[in-house]
Chains A and B, each alone.
Chain A
């Protein structure tokens, strides 16, 4: 391992000396937070597929591309703004900026250009409701979550989580040109899922966040209070996850899976509550990703026949 990855301050010095000249294409891709992007894209596709209409395949691909690039742009701008705390935390100190592989200004420019480009293309090629929602998600993530809430309140990821919940609404709006109850319920599903997902991570990374001065709930209120909150959120999430089935945008298989997966999510929260070690929190964090992935995969597979024209229109306002 090189010095620049073990000593972040050395990384900053290297960046100042023009280290970006040696930046690899992969470093720029890393700025886009590809793992976060994949879940965002997946939930965006679910919103598109669940909508009671369809887009030309090329336009659908453009909409997905815009959602992906918009999410990536948010990630790049977030990495630019958070480069000081990223350098302190062991989870993030090897990111391209703190490691000195990309200059901060270059990352910021990259993010802003992609943000404007994705919103502009979405608006011009698809429709301006989808473009506006994409812009709102990016602006919310950058200004409300990253710049305002993240360093100020333990409710940072509760309110900030709204940004990550936008994609199903964007996907739906791209296809239909309007919003309805169903995509709003998909928004709520991700919104209520985010706190237990993120706090599971924060529980076993609490030392990192404390070192960087980020007031995550386990740092400010302690592990026990966090675990109680996580349990409450998983209980509230349970009926919300059933809404797509109740509204008719997902079938019985989804409904059954939402009950089983929701039950396991609650059990995971109980297990975290009873466990004095980090083991259950790590397991719950991994399961939370699988939970959301499977629910959206089932919405997509339930609706796939509809894309071929063999399914009646969904339940709408």
Chain B
């Protein structure tokens, strides 16, 4: 059970980090387009 929880936490963290990187890319593109 502990391993399963740890794996779920790691996956959630990975998704959050990837989402954050995608967000920064998106913000950069929008800001560079003059908004």
Chain A interface (Cβ within 8 Å of chain B)?
21-25, 28, 55-56, 58-59, 62, 65, 125
> Please, how many angstroms separate the alpha-carbon atoms of A24 and B1 in the complex?
10
Chain A residue nearest to B27 in the complex (CB) = A125
Whether the pair B9, A23 counts as a contact (CB closer than 8 A) is: yes
> Please, how many angstroms separate the alpha-carbon atoms of A132 and B6 in the complex?
35
Min CB distance, B31 to chain A, in Å?
Answer: 8
B2-18 near A? 1/0 per residue, CB < 8 Å: 10011011001000000
Task: Tell me the dominant secondary structure on chain A's binding face.
Answer: helix
Chain B residue nearest to A19 in the complex (CB) = B2
Q: Out of B1, B6, B9, B30, which one reaches A56, CB within 8 Å? A: B30
> Please, how many angstroms separate the alpha-carbon atoms of A257 and B5 in the complex?
47
Task: Tell me the dominant secondary structure on chain B's binding face.
Answer: helix
> Please, how many angstroms separate the alpha-carbon atoms of A23 and B13 in the complex?
13
Given contacts A21-B2, A22-B1, A22-B2, contact A59 B27 (CB under 8 A): yes
Q: Out of B2, B6, B9, B35, which one reaches A59, CB within 8 Å? A: B35
Whether the pair B26, A58 counts as a contact (CB closer than 8 A) is: yes
Number of A-B contacts (CB under 8 A): 31
Min CB distance, A226 to chain B, in Å?
Answer: 42
Chain B residue nearest to A29 in the complex (CB) = B12
Whether the pair A62, B2 counts as a contact (CB closer than 8 A) is: no
Min CB distance, A17 to chain B, in Å?
Answer: 12
Whether the pair B30, A58 counts as a contact (CB closer than 8 A) is: yes
Tell me which residues across on chain A come within 8 A of B12, comparing CB atoms.
25, 28
> Please, how many angstroms separate the alpha-carbon atoms of A24 and B2 in the complex?
9
Tell me which residues across on chain A come within 8 A of B2, comparing CB atoms.
21-22
What 3 A-B pairs are tightest by C-beta distance, nearest first?
Answer: A56-B35, A25-B12, A125-B27
Tell me which residues across on chain A come within 8 A of B27, comparing CB atoms.
58-59, 62, 125
> Please, how many angstroms separate the alpha-carbon atoms of A62 and B30 in the complex?
12
Whether the pair A62, B23 counts as a contact (CB closer than 8 A) is: yes
Whether the pair B30, A22 counts as a contact (CB closer than 8 A) is: no
Whether the pair A22, B5 counts as a contact (CB closer than 8 A) is: yes
Min CB distance, A78 to chain B, in Å?
Answer: 21
> Please, how many angstroms separate the alpha-carbon atoms of A65 and B16 in the complex?
12
Tell me which residues across on chain B come within 8 A of A28, comparing CB atoms.
9, 12
> Please, how many angstroms separate the alpha-carbon atoms of A25 and B12 in the complex?
7
Whether the pair A21, B30 counts as a contact (CB closer than 8 A) is: no
Can you sample 15 A-B contacts with CB below 8 Å? A21-B5, A22-B1, A22-B2, A23-B5, A23-B9, A25-B8, A25-B9, A25-B12, A55-B35, A56-B35, A58-B26, A59-B27, A59-B30, A65-B23, A125-B27
Tell me which residues across on chain A come within 8 A of B23, comparing CB atoms.
62, 65
> Please, how many angstroms separate the alpha-carbon atoms of A21 and B6 in the complex?
7
Min CB distance, B14 to chain A, in Å?
Answer: 12
Chain A residue nearest to B11 in the complex (CB) = A25
Min CB distance, B28 to chain A, in Å?
Answer: 9
Min CB distance, B18 to chain A, in Å?
Answer: 15
Min CB distance, B16 to chain A, in Å?
Answer: 10
> Please, how many angstroms separate the alpha-carbon atoms of A56 and B30 in the complex?
8
Whether the pair B8, A24 counts as a contact (CB closer than 8 A) is: yes
> Please, how many angstroms separate the alpha-carbon atoms of A125 and B30 in the complex?
10
